[in-house]
Amino acid sequence: MKKYFFMCLCLQIIFTSSAVASFGRPNVALGGSIISSSPAVLGSAEYINDGLVSTMLYSYQQSGGLYYCRFVLDLSKLYSIDKIDLFIAQTRGFTIHVSTDNENWTLAETREWAGTSGTAISIPFAVPITGRYIKYYGWANWNQYVGVNEIAVYENGSVPVSSPAGSLGTNNIAAMKQIAHVLGTSETNSPPAHCLDSDVGTSWISTEYGDDDQTGKNTYTGGIVIDLGEEKTIGKIFLKTNAYHSIVISFPVDPVDFWGEKWLFRSTPDLFATDITGSGEVTFDIKGLVMSRYVAVYVQTFQVIDIKPDISEIEIYEWTENINNCTDSDGDGVSDLLDTCPGTPSGSPVYSNGCPSIKGDFNNNKKLDMGDVMGILKSLSSKADTQ
């Protein structure tokens, strides 16, 4: 009887929900619906909570000298909300209200700043707010579209999806890899390839900017898509930078789809501080929750200070399945994760599912049939030929 070799399969849970701005935590906005919004001139209201940063709603409504974009999101049931993430475009300020009945509203957040902003903004609540409906109103005070790409809402007490059993690799799998796509322009002597050359003395400096006709200040932005060559289970993304930025990481499905379906970000310590210069290292712990061939990095500095995004290195480390975590309690050569017949005697003949094999089952289909008869005859014939 054929003896099956030891097989050990560690189950890997891949987080497949789309927007993961607070990485790994369930975004309850994905299960809701937009029940009202300002008219769209580009995009659609349904894109606000579809989990894709690449889609958006642009509005061109005017009231009281302000151009605005508004919507009401119905989460479908009451939640205790401890955090809301936004990705907005061409917006000078916004308010967010929360309601339990779509009639009585509590002001949850208000922001206003000089210049436009098109970036990811994280809004944690020190005290969770109970609500079912989220009302957003974003505005600008000059002639332009005002937009929203995405909203993510998080329930108090929710936890990230469990990572698959594994360990963090030590090799930087992004080193010397190809840049598949570039968003914006860069300084001549500081191209994107410099952030993958394993040399902290060189850097990628983006020079792409947008004019603000109200303040005369600029917002510098830039983005790249890194091609790892093949699909990898991502464990950690590490950036070395000499300026604070809003940094958005996403995982495209192809080399020119910059945003992809999964995204996460780290904003500056205070998005609207007057001094956002500094240096540091930024780590995104992903721990095996995403498999992707492409990794996109988007950076932006804000109009409160004239400084370009500058990143010296981007390092990516793989999450490796840890087969050592698998055990074979009964010693039959089949992992406990696959063993549907625990307690079989150690070393006894078993099928791949750990259940005792049938004597004479030559084709291993867990029953005796004509194929086994032919196997027995063939075996007897082979023995006769050797005698």
Q: Which amino acid is at 238?
A: F
Element containing residue 276 per DSSP (H, E): none
Lowest mean pLDDT among 81-95, 172-186, 213-227: 213-227
Return the domain boundaries, the chain.
28-155, 166-323
Of the two residues 219 and 44, the one the predictor is more confident about is 44
Bigger pLDDT: 175 or 264? 175
Polymer length of the chain:
387
> Does pLDDT of 299 surpass 80?
yes
Does the fold of domain 166-323 match that of domain 28-155?
A: yes
pLDDT (tens digit, 9 = 90+) per residue, 204-263? 999 887 655 445 456 788 899 999 999 999 999 999 887 667 788 888 888 988 776 677
How confident is the prediction for the chain on average, in pLDDT?
79
Neighbours of 202 (CB within 10 A): 17
Most confident of 20-29, 127-136, 237-246, 333-342: 127-136
Which CATH architecture is the domain 28-155 placed in?
Sandwich (2.60)
- Reported as a pLDDT band with limits 50, 70 and 90, residue 354 is confident
Beta strands (DSSP E) in 251-347 are: 263-266, 280-301, 310-321
The percentage of residues in the chain with a pLDDT greater than 90, rounded to a whole number, is 41
Whole-number pLDDT of residue 60: 94
Residue 7 has pLDDT above 70, yes or no: no
Average pLDDT over residues 108-114: 84
More confident call, 130 vs 300: 130
Q: What is the pLDDT of residue 382?
A: 56
Residue-level pLDDT at 244: 63
- Round to whole Å and give the CA distance between 16 and 164: 13
Instruction: Give residue 176's region: left, alpha or beta (phi > 0; psi -120 to 50).
Output: left
Higher pLDDT: 199 or 326? It is: 199
Give the three-class secondary structure for 82.
strand
The H or E element containing residue 376 is helix 370-386
pLDDT over threshold 70, residue 153: yes
The answer to whether residue 13 scores a pLDDT higher than 70 is: no
To which residue do tokens 């475009």 refer?
89
- Per-residue pLDDT band at 335 (split at 50, 70, 90): low
> Is the pLDDT higher at 172 or at 280?
172
The whole-angstrom separation of Cα 313 and Cα 281 is 10
* The pLDDT value given to residue 313: 95
Quote the CA–CA distance of 383 and 34 in Å, as a whole number: 75
Instruction: Report the pLDDT averaged over residues 30-44.
Output: 96
CATH architecture of 166-323: Sandwich (2.60)
